[in-house]
Amino acid sequence: AQLDKAGITREHVLRVYFRAMDSMTRLNRTGAELMHKHGSHGATDVTGFGLLGHAQNLVEVQKQRVKFIIHTLPIIGHVPALLAATGTSFKLMQGYSAETSGGLLMAMSRKNADAYCEEIERLEGYPAWIIGDVAEGERRAEVIKSPKVIEVPSADKPGELW
């Protein structure tokens, strides 16, 4: 009943499910190869600690005293509406939603990150995003108060998963 009131259909729920399954079965092999090519300063896969937990682990081992400021959260399309309709959050907007077989979080220059994002989408057909910035700081990772949410994909296409 909650989902119906929010305009969320069975098809929306199935799309979320199948997109999550597709995402979790993707290998990070190409991403890992490209991060070396594009000069990554460090990387981790995002899993049980959530995005912010893994960002914190990564920032703590950087040679320089920096902080990671996460300003963008790519989220599977329809998930924000599902969470709002059911009154749950799984701490998603705070960066603590646990993931299974998440993507890669890496630190690299903006120029290299732009080139990385272009190349991985060209090779795999899946986008990558720049989700934050690195600044001088005290080895802390943070998600800003109102991060930009990118629903992936931004619109449903009939007959296509992504």
As a whole number of angstroms, the distance between CA 132 and CA 23 comes to: 21
Give the pLDDT score at 102.
84
CA-based nearest residue to 53, from 96, 106, 91: 96
Cβ within 8 Å of residue 78, ≥6 positions away: 8, 12, 13, 15, 16, 151
| Average pLDDT of span 41-48 | 92
**CATH of the domain spanning 28-76+89-152:** 3.90.650.10
Band of residue 101 on the pLDDT scale cut at 50, 70, 90: confident
Cross-strand bridge partners of residue 148: 72
Of 35-44, 62-71, 99-108, 130-139, least confident by mean pLDDT is: 99-108
Q: What is the pLDDT of residues 104-151, one digit of tens each?
A: 999 999 999 999 999 999 999 999 999 999 999 999 999 999 999 999
